[in-house]
Amino acid sequence: MSKPLNIVVMLGGPSAERGVSLRSGAAVAVALRSVGHHVTELDPRTETWTLPAGTDAVFLALHGTYGEDGTVQRQLDLLGVPYTGCDAEASRVAFDKVLTKQACVAAGVPTARFLVVNSAATPWPAGWQPPVVLKPVRQGSSVGLQFVEEVAQWPAALAASIQFDSEVLVEEKIVGRETTVGILAGTALPVVEVRPKQGVLDYQNKYTPGATEYFCPADFDAATTQKIQAAALGAFHAVGGRDYARVDVMVRPNGDPVVLEVNTLPGMTATSLLPKAAAVIGLNYAQLCHRMVELALLRSPAVPAGGVEKGAHVV
């Protein structure tokens, strides 16, 4: 990759996380231009987008449905264009919280007790005690996240969460410290601890500047750090991940990790958590973006140097 590349950054898209994706993609485009690449920004608001002639690689800065659930990956596979991040199948599994948990259970990766409901009229589940967490099965970035601290809150919380998907994951609320682990080229990066200044890490606290504090590397002893990283890597491999991802992990007071989910296209603003962790190992933001493109090209040696043909598109 000594010569400048023609890179398309896909950003925005049709999901509930469009705003975050626009910020991620804009930052990535600036970074890739800063190291000499030719960058085109492409917003796939519909599925009739066209890649420019001579595209060498696509950097996926999309979040949420369409971009993170395997859809755009399948379309790019049809075009034969290298793209950053996980393949279509791993994306599909990781975006579905139930499939992710099933994969973790099968692989022996620690995860919280759960069940799935598909109706706003579902009564409080027998045999369960609050608190629980409700999450739309196929959404990201804390969209539709609800906490139920007492049974009386269940109907309203379920109604609010099920607006975003036909199924809702009901999960034991893990009490402990919230962490996230970036994975890059098969290696776990330093652990980041996430501490909202007030309340819980919901959408508002995640994206309101100054609302949440981040500590990297997190202040755990070496043995606990290794357990957290091993759980994150286990989940990454369980869903079939490749290149990079970010795995959210709760840590119980006794130091036991509990995997929450795998984010195959994590936030990529300059202050996002994966870039924070990469900076700790000496990889600045532009270098990280360049490395992600490099990984895509390294596993696509058969792609012609000239990129895709003029007029290639998806219908």
DSSP per-residue codes, 107-160: HT--B--EEEE--TTPPPPTT--S-EEEEETT--TTTT-EEESSGGGHHHHHHH
- Collect all residues with Cβ–Cβ distance below 8 Å to 129 and sequence separation of at least 6: none
Task: Tell me, yes or no, whether 139 and 213 share the same domain.
Answer: no
The whole-angstrom separation of Cα 228 and Cα 62 is 27
242 and 104 in a single domain? The answer is yes
Q: Which residues contact 247 (CB under 8 A, 6 or more apart)?
A: 180, 181, 183, 231, 232, 233, 235, 236, 259, 261, 262, 263
Of 111-125, 155-169, 192-206, 280-294, where does mean pLDDT reach its minimum? Answer: 192-206
- Token pair listed for 135: 């999450």
Same domain, 189 and 238: yes
Is residue 277 a part of any domain in this protein? Answer: no
For the domain that residue 145 is a member of, what is the CATH number?
Answer: 3.30.1490.20
Chain-centre distance for alpha carbon 288:
16
pLDDT of residue 206: 56
Residues that are catalytic = 17, 141, 207, 246, 248, 261, 263, 267
Q: Is the pLDDT of residue 118 over 50?
A: yes
The Cα 193–Cα 273 span in angstroms is: 10
- Whether residue 137 lies inside any domain: the answer is yes
The two tokens of residue 300 are 């696509």
Query: What percentage of residues in the chain have a pLDDT greater than 90?
Result: 82
Task: Judge if 96 and 196 occupy the same domain.
Answer: yes
Does 154 lie in the same domain as 10?
A: no
Q: Residue 199's pLDDT is what?
A: 63
313 within some domain: no
Both 179 and 248 in one domain: the answer is yes
Does residue 315 sit within a domain? Answer: no
Domain that holds residue 25: 6-85+285-298
Average pLDDT value for the chain: 90
Q: Are residues 80 and 164 in the same domain?
A: no
Residues 203 and 220 in one domain: yes
CB atoms within 10 A of CB 77: 13
The answer, yes or no, to whether residue 279 has pLDDT greater than 50, is yes
Q: Same domain for 72 and 12?
A: yes
- Clarify whether residues 168 and 183 are in a common domain: no
> Backbone phi, then psi, for 313, in 5-degree steps?
-155, 175
Q: How far apart are CA 119 and CA 138, in angstroms?
A: 15
- Asked if residue 193 belongs to a domain, the reply is yes
Q: What is the pLDDT of residue 299?
A: 75
At residue 207 the predicted structure's pLDDT band, cuts being 50, 70 and 90, is low
What average pLDDT score do residues 79-99 get?
A: 96
Q: What is the predicted pLDDT for the residue at 34?
A: 97
Query: Do both 73 and 181 map to the same domain?
Result: no
Shared domain check, 143 and 247: no
Task: Residue 253: name the closest of 177, 179, 172 by CA.
Answer: 177
- The stretch 219-229 carries a mean pLDDT of 98
Q: Residue 219 maps to which CATH number?
A: 3.30.470.20
How many distinct structural domains can be found in the chain? 3
